[in-house]
Every structure is written in structure tokens, then in C-alpha cells.
Amino acid sequence: MNYAGSSMSLAQQGDLVETLLLHCTMKGGEIAAETHLTITRNEAEELLMLAARLRRIAPFEAEIKRLVIRG
């Protein structure tokens, strides 16, 4: 993935998190009790942007949930 410098869509953000979590999953599909994960600089930058976006929308969480549930 290479989204650094651009605004990732919600789907792309989900893909990033899922891709990282796949490295924490054992062959049978079970999540490992502990995982040492190596991420690239680009992935780290993407995670920083994702964290910033989540913090920016946090004040609107109740409204977002209300809109999504009505959706």
C-alpha cells in the first residue's frame, strides 16, 4: 500500500489495519497471543495519519453512530 501524502478512504484505512493484523494471525486463523511486527516507514506514516483522523472525528462519534445506525 502506498497512501502516504493522500487522504485514505475509509475502506483503505480498514485495509491497512487488516493487512497489519494478518501478520498477527496464525495459520489456523487464531490471533497470536503476542506478535513482533515489522512495519515500513510508509506504514508507520499511514498509521499516524489514521490516528490523527480518528482523533479529529472523535468529538462527532455519537452523531456518526446515529447516522450509521439510521443508514
Give the Å distances, CA to CA, from 54 to 13, 15, 31, 33. 11, 15, 24, 26
pLDDT value of residue 5 = 52
Round to whole Å and give the CA distance between 30 and 10. Answer: 25
pTM above the 0.75 mark?
Answer: no
Low-confidence residues of the chain, pLDDT below 70? 1-6, 71
> Under a CB-based contact definition with an 8 Å cutoff, are residues 20 and 43 in contact?
yes
pLDDT value of residue 70 = 77
> Under a CB-based contact definition with an 8 Å cutoff, are residues 33 and 19 in contact?
no
pLDDT value of residue 54 = 93
pLDDT value of residue 69 = 84
> Under a CB-based contact definition with an 8 Å cutoff, are residues 1 and 12 in contact?
yes
pLDDT value of residue 8 = 85
pLDDT value of residue 61 = 93
